[in-house]
Amino acid sequence: MVKCSPILSALAGVYSLLNTTSQHNGEPIPDRAYGAAPVGLLMYTKSGFMSATISATEPEFRPMNLTFPFTDDQSDHDWALAGKHSIGYAGHLSISNAFPASKTRGQLIHGPLIAANVPRWVGTKQIRNYTVHREGNRTLLQIDSQRDGGYTGQLWWLKLD
């Protein structure tokens, strides 16, 4: 039986993406990866697993002719667009000891990742700072992340379950 941390138990659930903001070297920029109105789900379990999926919704980033599995008549260009404008990964979840953590603020480690649509992320650990906000009966989760090349992201999630 897996021993559950009180912090992971408090964070466990399913979250729906509300919005994202991006910066490059501290300057606000449009979110080229996710577009203007991304959708996504984030899932944390009490036993220490996680999954995240985010994708753009703009038709120019999400060709509707694609199917799974792919067929030979679908272009690599269309698949590349879909891949460039989405992220999906899953793996282990733990609390970082880089600084004191609580049920409302701290640092998480997504990983080692078991699966990721970005191949070089498999086996890596993705560091995410978190802050839990309460607004009436709503629970919001703010996730701050460092990205490759001086990019940072702030993502806001609404707890669904």
Mean pLDDT of the chain, nearest integer = 94
- Residue at token pair 């992320």: 121
Question: Hey, what CATH class is 6-159 in?
Answer: mainly beta
Range among 97-101, 122-126, 143-147 rated most confident: 122-126
- Residues above pLDDT 90, as percent of the chain: 90
**Residues 56-86: pLDDT tens digits?**
999 999 999 999 999 999 999 999 999 999 9
Res. 1: pLDDT tops 80: no
> Scanning the structure block, which residue is given the tokens 């086996």?
123
* Position 96 confidence tier, pLDDT thresholds 50, 70, 90: very high
Q: Averaged over 43-65, what is the pLDDT?
A: 96
Q: Is 147 left (phi over 0), alpha (psi -120 to 50) or beta?
A: beta
pLDDT of residue 146: 86
Which pLDDT score is estimated for 3?
A: 55
Question: Whose CA is closest to 9, among 142, 104, 82, 103?
Answer: 103
Instruction: Give residue limits of the domains in the chain.
Output: 6-159
> Which amino acid is located at 83 in the chain?
G
